[in-house]
Structure 1
């Protein structure tokens, strides 16, 4: 009878360790999800804040390139 009890006790302990490991993995997945969400928010805020300045920069570069190409073709 003691061998059966030892077997079940060992089986229960191993199952408990595996379940605890899954809980840790679940918590880690949630933490990574939160970090990805925060990074996405930071990117959105940065693009929104710098969007107008970048648009002006690209328009300036485009205007200068157009002038250079018009001068080279003449």
Structure 2
């Protein structure tokens, strides 16, 4: 029974693969943020494209 407890503690302290888990968590949070604010992000990008288009028209006119 003691070896089972020791193996459990060893498994808990093992940090191998922790980087992968952190990356998966970061990606999941980013996807959630994008899904929550999709409409606002789309609006901001469209406004930036419109502003860039207007400024480029001024340069070429």
TM-score of the pair, normalised by structure 2:
0.57
Gapped regions of structure 2 (runs ≥ 5): none
SS of residue in 2 equivalent to 1:56: helix
TM-score of the pair, normalised by structure 1:
0.50
RMSD value, Cα: 3.0
Separation in 1, partners of 2:10, 2:39: 42
Report which of the two has the higher share of helix. 1
Gapped regions of structure 1 (runs ≥ 5): 1-15
Separation in 2, partners of 1:48, 1:69: 31
> Which protein has greater RCO, CA pairs closer than 8 Å, 6+ apart?
2
**Count of aligned pairs:** 53
